[in-house]
Structure 1
Amino acid sequence: MSESVFYKLAFYPLLLPLSMAIQMSSLLFSSLAVFFFFFFFSSLEKTFAFQATIEDTESNNLHLVHLNSLLPSSSCSSSIKDSRRKGSLEVVHKYGPCSQQNDGDRKVTHSDILNVDKERVKYIHSRISKELSGDDGLKELDSANLPAKSGSLIGSGNYFVVVGLGTPKRDLSLIFDTGSDLTWTQCQPCARSCYKQQDPIFDPSKSSSYSNITCTSTLCTQLSSATGNDPGCSSVSKACIYGIQYGDQSFSVGYFSRERLTVTTTDVIDNFLFGCGQNNQGLFGGSAGLIGLGRHPISFVQQTASKYGKIFSYCLPSTSSSTGHLTFGRATSRLLLYTPFSTISRSSSFYGLDIASITVSGVKLSLTPSLFSTGGAIIDSGTVITRLPPTAYAALRSAFRQGMSKYPSAGELSILDTCYDLSAYKVFSIPKINFVFGGSVTVELQPAGILYVASAKQVCLAFAANGDDSDITIFGNVQQRTLEVVYDLGGGKIGFGAGGCK
């Protein structure tokens, strides 16, 4: 027997267990490796899942904002939402590239807009205060003594729509305002004065459907509560004369009349009551006048009740270089949350809201429940910046500043005292702000509804304080941007939905 064979036979019984041991060790090592791999992977997965949960929680309380999304472009970007829907009009910001209106050679600044907004708020506070005190504030109409500030801007809103007036119709650009009732436009022959407007001034003598309301008509007497001025009477024609004055002393005086109003090609309103202005002062952004969407019987909403059911909705665009819509009739969106209107006063044309609370970054502000109910609250398309009770504003500002502490501050802009220089950031984050209305309806404001952007170097918190906690709160149009806002007068409610302009 050879030596090699001998050794194989001699050591084979020992080699077999050793081989098996090696295999078992290898198997054990592989099993341990697999175990540790899955253990490590599982731990890593849990770590990432935990981190993702933190990030998700943070993102739920913060908006990630691209700076360019808040800056208007030099060209118009038109929205197509509701463009083919019956009773729908395109909404345009009067100072943006989508507007063909102008204020002559004078460039309107952000300070101009905010200063006029301040005057409008004073006017609203004064008007509601008189209503609540029982003082109707009626004045005898005297067109010669209605003051006007030369070159002033009307505090009636920033958005307009185009409608047709007369037979044949003439297209006119009118500012729409939920805080006004009377619809009016400038008319030829401009017996006293007309400001500069983009559209040709309406000439009633060239319309076959125009007529004046007489002084003795009961319709004429409705002007008192709608305008705050007793109507006048023409000594020659016995025509009813209206006069309306706004918060910044701008005004319109003229004949109270009937005319055919064309909303869209399929929606025509005959015998529509409106003011045909012969003496008009103030810069109206180049628009031809105003369309009143208040609650008074002579407002557009009430005059068209049989056609549109006292329902209208709108979406205000995120920037002045994009468009929104104003739609009359039942809203088609199902993603709406409704809160009841509150009553400000019996005669008020404004739409009241019940504000229950405000949250910033998911945290409810510590405010007494009666803070908002003491003065009441309204929603207004013509007021730019939301006005809060000083106590509420101080709490909101403090929470917002805390969430923006990593960004450099910028100087104040008129009534806005919390501003930031974000020119070095393409993307930044801001605290989310939610309003909770009556019926536990929560409305989340979009970034365009939280910030007022003068430039990349001056981006401001778009809220301001009232003079006193007892003053009425006003939910302004900046906060309404991109929301679908539905006014249902018949149902006594107002609805809010996200993505209204898309």
Structure 2
Amino acid sequence: MAWVLLSLLLLVLLSHAPSALPATTAAATTGLRVAITRTESPSSFTFKERFHRAVQRSRRRREVLKLAKCSRHDVEGVFKWGDGEYLIELAVGTPMQPITAILDTGSDLIWTQCKPCIRCLPQPSPYYDPSTSSTYSVLPCSSPSCSGVQHLCYQNLCQYGTSYGDNTETRGFLATETLTFGRKRVPGITFGCGIWNNGTLSDSTGIVGLGRGTLSLPSQLHPRRFSYCFTPDNSSSTSHLFLGSKAKLGRRHRRGRVQTTPMLPSPPAVPFNTYYYLPIQGISLGRTLLPIPKTAFQIKKDGNGGMIIDSGTQFTIVDPAAFGVIVKKILSLVHLPVDKSSDELLCFSWTPGLHRLPEMPDMVFHFDGANMVIPRDKYMLSDPDEGFCLAIVSGNGTSILGNYMQQNMNILYDLEANSLSFADAQCDQL
């Protein structure tokens, strides 16, 4: 398999890479601001095709998260199956080499594709070349970081490897390097230098994990908090990620006050403490609290259930029992012909000039001590040529609050207080 091929060809990499250097320690950051861009939809796809692709990506993403619970040594990640992810721009090495990676609160490992590529996926920029960097250092197998990922040892060097739910794989060296965020250079960051990569990784070079695990960017930089604000998918403006002292909720909120809810610990049955669980109590549409069974969002003994917030999943996924109640209420509010061409999505036929989009109340996610208000255009999608569709899908297991509902919302993860705060914002003005 890939491990055998990788081991046979590691001598090629070692002949190009600098000798392992003493690892440096990542300095605590006083505050970072990083640009976030959004991957664009291919123009050849219609709205409905893009919608179906987005649903499939979200469901496959959920399967990746589900599979990640099987082993504490697996590295979880979201891959670019199309549009729908947010990318951050940074640089790696000395001298600096630019990379663009998927921002992912549902994984921990930071990794990028590297030269010399035994097998690499297409990407928009040159592959990172460790042989030209004076700050690149492969970690020995004795490093504590090495035990945090699935790995093998070769000449006492840590080789990481992981597989994903869509058969995407990445393998290479676990190393330390200097990362640059804007003008801020941070040495000694542990990352994966992927030299054998298979599957799909369109328009990005790798992943930056923001999860709770030890190898994530927040865990390595040790900020007390981080925040992001996603611009809408139809906006050309740049979003931003803030870490440390720069992470705070701004004053430009369109409505309402700042809401704060505690984040729940991972269930005991989930050995890898990556995900940010939220204490969801129920969902309303307008003034109506929907009759969703309490069991729909309960965390079960086997680790399934509950709700996590994830920047790498586009559409929100809820338990089938909750989905059925939501659909019933939507059908009572929208008096348009139901499009029966899709049996897995709730879509309505809509023709501008003939039909007006219905006025619909806000959807509210009720968390412990906080209410997340979601206007119509963040839980429904509309296209003048194709239709009017619910941006929520059904899925067994853990529910996921996706990035579509998080748009134009300033969201702050307080890692010290173990809480999530949020407020409506104009993200292009932050």
TM normalised by structure 1 equals 0.69
Classify the secondary structure of the residue corresponding to 2:242.
strand
Evaluate the alpha carbon distance shift between residue 174 and residue 401 of structure 1 in structure 2; reply closer, same or farther with a 3 A threshold.
Answer: same
Deviation of residue 418 (structure 1)? 3.2
Letter in 1 for 2:173: Y
| 1:396 pairs with 2:326 | yes
Between the aligned partners of 1:204 and 1:454, the Cα distance in structure 2 is 46
User: Is 1:92–1:320's contact at 8 Å kept on the other side of the alignment?
Assistant: no
Q: Distance in 1 between matches of 2:158 and 2:234?
A: 38
**Are the structure 2 counterparts of residues 276 and 90 from structure 1 closer, same or farther at C-alpha, using a change threshold of 3 Å?**
same
Deviation at 1:448, TM superposition (A): 3.5
Cα shift at 1:482: 1.2
Counterpart Cα distance in 2 of 1:175 and 1:427: 34
Q: 1:328 to 1:167 in 2, by over 3 A?
A: same
Name structure 2 gaps, 5 residues minimum: 1-29, 252-256, 300-304
Query: Do the aligned partners of 1:89 and 1:325 also contact (CA within 8 Å) in 2?
Result: yes
Cα distance change on mapping 1:480 and 1:415 into 2, 3 Å: farther
The residue correspondences of 1:257-268 to structure 2 (distance < 5 A) are 257-265=175-183, 267-268=184-185
Q: Is contact 1:252–1:277 with CA below 8 Å preserved after alignment?
A: yes
Distance 2:50 2:232 in 1: 18
Deviations 1:97-127 (A, max 9, x none): 9xxxx99xxxx94433322222111222343
Tell me which moved more, 283-292 or 174-183.
Answer: 283-292
Matched, 1:178 2:95: no
Which residues of 2 match residues 432-451 of structure 1 at below 5 A?
A: 432-439=362-369, 441-451=370-380
Q: Which residue of 2 aligns with 1:88?
A: 33
8 Å contact kept, 1:116–1:248: no
Cα pair distance change 1:250/1:465, threshold 3 Å: same
Distance apart, 1:298 and its partner CA: 1.0
Distance in 1 separating the partners of 2:407 and 2:306: 22
Range moving further from structure 2, 393-402 or 237-246? 237-246
Deviations, residues 178-223 of structure 1 (Å, cap 9, x unaligned):
1110000001110x20111001111111111111101222221122
* Structure 1 unaligned residues grouped into runs of 5+: 1-84, 131-135, 142-151, 224-229
Alignment check: 8 A CA contact 1:452 1:478 kept: no
Task: Give the partner amino acid of 2:215.
Answer: I
Tell me by how many angstroms 1:420 deviates: 3.8
**Corresponding residue for residue 280 of structure 2:** 355
Q: Contact (CA 8 Å) 2:137, 2:177: kept in 1 or not?
A: yes
Pairwise CA distance, 1:449:
1.7
How much does 1:489 deviate? 1.4
Structure 2 CA distance for aligned equivalents of residues 289 and 157 of structure 1: 15
- 1:453-483 deviation per Cα after TM superposition (whole angstroms, max 9, x unaligned): 466422211111123xxx2111111111111
TM-superposition CA deviations, 1:67-103 (whole Å, max 9, x none): xxxxxxxxxxxxxxxxxx9522222211259xxxx99
2:62 matched residue in structure 1: 121
Is 1:169 equivalent to 2:110 in the alignment? no
1:464 paired to 2:393: yes
Give the Cα–Cα distance (whole angstroms) in 1 for the partners of residues 163 and 381 of structure 2: 28
User: In the TM superposition, what is the alpha-carbon distance from 1:417 to its structure 2 partner?
Assistant: 2.4
1:289 partnered with 2:206: yes
Matching residue's letter, 2:307: A
CA–CA separation in structure 2 for the residues paired with 1:274 and 1:198: 20
Letter in 1 for 2:109: L
Give the aligned partner of residue 477 of structure 1. Answer: 403
- Amino acid paired to 2:179: L
Q: Judge conservation of contact 2:285–2:361 (CA < 8 Å) in 1.
A: yes
Query: Hey, what does 2:217 align to over in structure 1?
Result: 300
Residue of structure 1 equivalent to 2:151: 231
Separation in 1, partners of 2:36, 2:421: 19
- Give the structure with the higher percent helix: 1
**Which residue in 2 is equivalent to 1:337?**
259
Distance 1:156 1:185, change over 3 A: farther
What is the alpha-carbon distance in structure 2 between the residues aligned to residue 213 and residue 157 of structure 1? Answer: 34
The CA distance in 1 between the partners of 2:212 and 2:298, in whole Å, is 21
Matched-pair identity in %: 29
User: Which residue is equivalent to 1:250?
Assistant: 168
Q: CA deviation at 1:153?
A: 5.0
- Verify the 8 A CA contact 2:110 2:207 in the aligned structure 1: yes
Q: Which has the larger radius of gyration?
A: 1
The alpha-carbon distance between structure 1 residues 460 and 401, as it changes in their structure 2 partners (threshold 3 A), is same
After TM superposition, give the deviation of residue 500 of structure 1 in Å.
4.7
1:216 pairs with one of 130, 134, 142 = 142
Confirm or deny that 1:327 pairs with 2:242.
yes
Question: Match of 1:263, as an amino acid?
Answer: F
Q: Which secondary structure state, in structure 2, belongs to the residue aligned with residue 494 of structure 1?
A: strand
Normalization by structure 2: what TM-score?
0.80
**2-side partners of 1:182 and 1:154: how far apart?**
19
For 1:410, what is the secondary structure of its paired residue?
A: coil
CA distance in 1, matches of 2:199, 2:178: 26
Q: Secondary structure at the match of 1:205?
A: helix
What is the RMSD of the two structures over their aligned residues, measured on CA atoms? 2.7
Letter in 2 for 1:326: L
Q: How far apart are the structure 2 equivalents of 1:178 and 1:114?
A: 19
Q: Partners in 1 of 2:357 and 2:293 — Cα distance?
A: 36
Query: Take 2:287 and 2:33, find their aligned partners in 1: how far apart are those partners?
Result: 36
Kept in 1, the 8 Å contact 2:54–2:83? The answer is: no
Residue correspondences, number: 375
Residue of 122, 125, 131 corresponding to 1:205: 131
Q: For residues 483 and 385 of structure 1, do their structure 2 counterparts lie closer, same or farther at Cα, with a shift above 3 Å needed?
A: same
- Stretch of structure 1 that moved more, 380-389 or 269-278: 380-389
Q: How many angstroms apart in 2 are the aligned matches of 1:369 and 1:208? A: 56
Q: Deviations over 1:371-401 (max 9, x none)?
A: 3124211111111221112121111111112
Equivalent residue of 1:198, what SS?
coil
